[in-house]
A and B are shown apart, each in its own frame.
Chain A
Amino acid sequence: MRRAGGFVVLGSACLASLASAEIPLDQRKSGADFISAATRAMQEDDTANPAMLSTLDGESMWNEKAGGAQKSCGDCHGPAPKSMKGVAARYPAYNVARQAPVDLSGQINACRTDQQKAEAFKPESAQLLALSAYIGSQSRGLPVSPPDDARLASFRARGEALWSQRIGQLNFSCAQCHDDNWGKRLGSALIPQAHPNAYPIYRLDWQGMGSLQRRFRNCMSGVRAEAYPYGAQEFIDLEVFLAHRARGMPVETPGVRP
């Protein structure tokens, strides 16, 4: 009872102070600004970037015929360097058939099932990461450009609410670390601003490729929360919000992180 009373009294003050300040646009930094010079050099040199192996796999997959339709991505879209330029930078985008936003992985799988008549790739499968990395790399250097689409607004708002929600036994929100304490040290790790502009990434800690959703799940386990399953609407909503938060920042896919 006392607790409830306290919430009533503190209510307005809490609302004001719990809403973390958004990072001013000109103070945003890519995750690459928080990694060592050696790791950054690895990302920026295609001959040293370990994610390029997966990206090159994606390039061959682009031209492989698949599914009942026996069509390749290239059969419909043509050469990716032309047709896919700037595409990943616009995802997640609203999908009319699904009446919901889909992220790039979701769109790849929609093409698989709807156009190629093939089975969807499993989340975090080597194939899905490879195609995502290859398509993503066609937007390298272009600004993250979330669609100006009113149908995304409610999803983005839900993503922002999730971003600010304290979760897990350790009771942290994304915002408390990545808006309020970026640049500080959490143990040995420099806390980045958590922008999505380099995914999928090769993470040295994973010794492999992973999606943004894998990273979400890592953070959720870190705060001892029950992670959402891959493909959960909550993750898509978070991705919609993060794309807006990173609008205008250059795409770096495929990134390398410690």
Chain B
Amino acid sequence: MDRRCVAALLTLACCAPAAAASLQPYEITGDAIVAPLGGTRGDPAKGRAIVVDRQRGLCLLCHTGPFPEQRFQGDIAPSLAGAGSRLSEGQLRLRMVDSTRINPDSVMPSYYRTDHLTRVAPAQRDKPILEAQDIENVVAFLVTLRDQPSLKETR
């Protein structure tokens, strides 16, 4: 093998994982992704900031939630209040990553999928809506949205 060929192979070896690494691999178990994307759980405070950001998380365009300081919350989708009581961390993660795995007709965008999309704008092509760690930040925040136990239940 001559030197040029080795160089070409090295280039390939460097580039191929980089392209594949743009999305972290994940495993679906039932209706959940149990393990955090990239292996690290997120920061709920950073997650909240993403959820209320209408350019990044976009969540409040469709969902309402326990965000008293946020005006003009959408009502296309269920409230995020109590999401952490209704769904496990892993279930929330799959719903963020690709909710069409649960319901193909779901209007919710798949936040961590870049295939089976049509006419994506050049600036966003082959990019997920949120990066893996930001998905984890949002998931870490959503699990904190517990139903407030009523007075009766706490007695």
A residues with CB within 8 A of B: 10, 14, 17-18, 165-172, 176, 180-181, 184-188, 191, 220-221, 224-227
- Tell me whether B61 and A187 are in contact (CB under 8 A): yes
- Tell me whether A225 and B72 are in contact (CB under 8 A): no
Please give the distance in Å from A205's CB to the nearest CB on chain B: 15
Instruction: Identify the closest chain B residue to A228 (Cβ).
Output: B119
- Tell me whether B62 and A186 are in contact (CB under 8 A): yes
- Tell me whether B107 and A176 are in contact (CB under 8 A): yes
Q: Does B80 contact A (CB under 8 A)?
A: no
Of B74, B110, B122, which is within 8 A of A187 by CB? Answer: B74
Instruction: Identify the closest chain A residue to B126 (Cβ).
Output: A169
- Tell me whether B122 and A226 are in contact (CB under 8 A): yes
**Chain A residues within an 8 Å CB radius of B54:** 187
**Chain B residues within an 8 Å CB radius of A185:** 72-76
- Tell me whether A165 and B118 are in contact (CB under 8 A): yes
**How far does the alpha carbon of A221 sit from the alpha carbon of B120 in the complex, in Å?**
10
Instruction: Identify the closest chain A residue to B115 (Cβ).
Output: A3
Q: Does B127 contact A (CB under 8 A)?
A: yes
- Tell me whether B107 and A14 are in contact (CB under 8 A): no
Instruction: Identify the closest chain B residue to A176 (Cβ).
Output: B107
B residues with CB within 8 A of A: 54, 58, 60-62, 71-76, 104-105, 107, 109-110, 117-124, 127, 129
- Tell me whether A168 and B119 are in contact (CB under 8 A): yes
A selection of 21 A-B contacts at a CB cut-off of 8 Å is A167-B117, A167-B119, A168-B121, A169-B117, A169-B120, A169-B121, A169-B127, A169-B129, A171-B110, A181-B76, A184-B76, A185-B73, A185-B75, A186-B76, A187-B60, A220-B119, A224-B123, A224-B124, A225-B118, A226-B121, A227-B121
Please give the distance in Å from B112's CB to the nearest CB on chain A: 12
Known A169-B117, A186-B62: A14·B127 in contact at CB below 8 Å: no
**Chain B residues within an 8 Å CB radius of A166:** 117-118
**How far does the alpha carbon of A227 sit from the alpha carbon of B120 in the complex, in Å?**
9
Known A185-B76, A186-B74, A187-B60: A170·B105 in contact at CB below 8 Å: no
- Tell me whether A167 and B107 are in contact (CB under 8 A): no
**How far does the alpha carbon of A71 sit from the alpha carbon of B54 in the complex, in Å?**
52
**How far does the alpha carbon of A13 sit from the alpha carbon of B68 in the complex, in Å?**
40
Please give the distance in Å from B127's CB to the nearest CB on chain A: 7
**How far does the alpha carbon of A191 sit from the alpha carbon of B62 in the complex, in Å?**
11
Of A187, A191, A221, which is within 8 A of B121 by CB? Answer: A221
Q: A168-B118, A176-B107, A184-B74 are in contact. List 8 more A-B contacts (CB 8 A).
A: A18-B105, A167-B119, A169-B124, A172-B107, A180-B107, A224-B120, A226-B122, A227-B121
**How far does the alpha carbon of A18 sit from the alpha carbon of B104 in the complex, in Å?**
9
Please give the distance in Å from B73's CB to the nearest CB on chain A: 7
Of A17, A187, A220, which is within 8 A of B72 by CB? Answer: A187
**How far does the alpha carbon of A169 sit from the alpha carbon of B58 in the complex, in Å?**
12
Please give the distance in Å from B122's CB to the nearest CB on chain A: 6
Of B71, B104, B110, B127, which is within 8 A of A188 by CB? Answer: B71
**How far does the alpha carbon of A185 sit from the alpha carbon of B71 in the complex, in Å?**
12
**How far does the alpha carbon of A11 sit from the alpha carbon of B73 in the complex, in Å?**
34
**Chain A residues within an 8 Å CB radius of B107:** 172, 176, 180-181
- Tell me whether B124 and A186 are in contact (CB under 8 A): no
**How far does the alpha carbon of A224 sit from the alpha carbon of B56 in the complex, in Å?**
12
